A and B are shown apart, each in its own frame.
Chain A
């Protein structure tokens, strides 16, 4: 029987990664800023990708961990896994990806990622992979344009947002510490995972959660490593923002 341990993670080209993201990720959109593209292979076949790169708003995120140098953190920009991959693949793949990043880029101290609680999920994969939750914000940047397409309105976006509608929901910010000591320099509080349901930010497979107990469990005790079900898209594939 195939298990998550059968997955092999190795670097791939941006072109190969983009094809997977376009086909499997719920947004269908690639993050052009990504620099490190890691493929998840099962039986020699590419079935998933994780894309890492600098955040668009790097200067805003830099102070989250005091003393972080400009190039010493990354964002997990995209994560898209096909249904061919077995259960718990994402956590396994992230664990291997983090080992690779630590080995090749020893300067990288932490990884930030955002869960899209307007269209996708509240970050189940991140919580299962040892990330800490550092912010839950009402969405203000993901918008539906007048032609129906969905886009993020950040500083570099060239889309016309006239008449656009801000999507209901939340964005959740997670951080994973490759250097455990960097956690001591975190300048914002670590939020308990139970906060997600407390404020009604829970989302799974693109649908708001109704079960208020769904995200119970305090990460400060569990380290966020509690096994949880994988996050899946409406398309039926696994992904993160």
Chain B
């Protein structure tokens, strides 16, 4: 029994590979022609009308070993990874050789993710130059009760004769600066 699944798409990929490269990896069978490894290849061979496929007979395995091999033949291969940068360069190289990269078993989405796309015409962006405007907007998150205290203090401070209006036209900003300045002065004794 094979617990590994082979989608129609994958069988088609294997079939395309068999056509391009030939049957390079024989099916593994036991003494009774039970398939140990190569279920997908057999389905692909049927799909392209092959009557015979090369096999290697594995003798002497216990039932447990056969079952384990069927699984491990697939699962161990899944444990490897890809060096994506090297893979990208190899695929680029194949493209340059006009090789049909549909045959290497990756879907279009993955192939696209490996390619460094670029825009044909991008202008140099406009950057600010010179000195920054001497104004800043600051944002704070306040609880409703805190907001109410700040509002009351700013409203009161706006009419205070000590407010310096020489730097800034924003009355709330001037009031807040006065409050903070007075608080700082109180800290300094």
- A29 part of interface (Cβ distance < 8 Å): no
* Closest chain A CB from B97 CB (angstroms): 14
Q: Which listed segment binds A: B46-54, B129-137, B164-172?
A: B129-137
Q: Is the CB of A105 within 8 A of B129?
A: yes
Q: How many A-B residue pairs have CB under 8 A?
A: 75
Bound-complex Cα distance A47 to B116 (A): 7
Instruction: Indicate which residue in B85, B92, B122, B132 contacts A12 across the interface (CB closer than 8 Å).
Output: B122
Contact flag A71-B85 (CB < 8 Å), given A12-B122, A13-B119, A19-B117: no
- CB of A24 closer than 8 Å to a CB of B: yes
Please encode chain B, from 106 to 132, with 1 for each CB lying within 8 Å of some chain A CB and 0 for all others. 000000001011110011110111111
Give chain B residues whose Cβ lies under 8 Å from the Cβ of A83.
Answer: 85-86, 89
B-facing residues in A52-69 (Cβ within 8 Å) = 69
A125 part of interface (Cβ distance < 8 Å)? no
Interface size on A, residues (CB 8 A): 31
Q: Are B117 and A236 in contact, CB atoms less than 8 angstroms apart? A: no
Q: Are B125 and A16 in contact (CB under 8 A)?
A: no
CA distance A19 to B84 in the complex (A): 12
Give Cα A84 to B96, complex, Å: 13
Per-position 1/0 for A2-27, Cβ under 8 A of B: 00000000111100100110011000
Contact indicator B118/A107 (Cβ below 8 Å): no
Q: Are B129 and A107 in contact (CB under 8 A)?
A: yes
Contacts A13-B119, A19-B116, A47-B116; is A71 near B84 (CB within 8 Å)?
no
CA A46 to CA B131, docked complex, whole Å:
35
Do A84 and B128 touch (CB < 8 A)?
Answer: no
Chain A neighbourhood of B119, CB < 8 A:
12-13, 16
- Give the residue of B84, B122, B129 whose beta carbon is less than 8 angstroms from that of A72: B129
CA distance A39 to B85 in the complex (A): 17
Known pairs A72-B130, A107-B130; A35 contacts B125 (CB<8 A): yes
Closest Cβ neighbor of A101 among chain B residues: B124
Bound state CA distance, A41 and B89, in angstroms?
14
Q: Quick one: CB contact mask for B143-167 with A, threshold 8 Å, 1 for yes?
A: 0000000000000000000000000
A105 to B114 CA separation, bound complex (whole angstroms) = 33
B39 at the interface (CB under 8 A from A): no
Chain A residues whose CB sits within 8 angstroms of the CB of B88 once the complex forms:
23, 82
Task: Report the bound CA distance from A236 to B119 in whole Å.
Answer: 26
Q: Which residues from chain A sit less than 8 Å from chain B, CB to CB? A: 10-13, 16, 19-20, 23-24, 35-36, 39, 41, 45-47, 69-72, 82-84, 100, 104-105, 107-108, 235-237
18 contacting pairs across A/B (C-beta < 8 A): A11-B124, A11-B125, A13-B119, A16-B119, A23-B84, A24-B85, A35-B127, A36-B124, A47-B116, A69-B131, A70-B131, A71-B131, A71-B132, A104-B124, A105-B129, A107-B129, A235-B85, A236-B86
- B residues sitting closer than 8 Å to A (CB atoms) are 83-86, 88-89, 92, 114, 116-119, 122-125, 127-132
